Structure 1
């Protein structure tokens, strides 16, 4: 199961595989291999998938003689878990620092609704 500690224990390749599964939803080993940068061998992809299944970060289903891999939780929870790991690793566990880094980008475009939602979340955080 994906949690906030999961990202810390993953190799670069494992994170790449999880990212592909998050983006695509349900994939085969061959499809993952095709999307990886500097693709490893098919058996290396299968080994990574086996490890991720053993860690409980992916689930494997068989259908029509083919193995399919997906997340054991919804993509929203997985994204939050991955983001927490990045905030911890790159921003010294400071959500405000991470938010300021994202919001400070020159090419950032927010809709009025997105800006309102952010302001609401900031207001709620101040009350805590």
Structure 2
């Protein structure tokens, strides 16, 4: 009797390549975000889509706090339409990043999710920033 891993055969190599290659259009990881943020122009805006209290307690340095429920056209007016957004939330147990990405996509904004969220950031050993901007 086969185990659960092999009970369903894997996709063909061609299908696997297409599926996994396509995922990079929708997501990025903490390491790549960290590397991009170390440059003068990372090419995207990093959105922490958690609430302000959680943001103040610790967030990715350089992130902008915009809770997913508050992502509306008027809040994005300061950024050109072609601005790429990368959303993150608490971590893999949280769907806030996806909720934010859906709202951005509905507003015709290019978006990716930072997989792993804050948990992934910490797991990579990267530092957090505390407080609100201007504190």
- How high is the TM-score relative to the length of structure 2? 0.30
- How high is the TM-score relative to the length of structure 1? 0.31
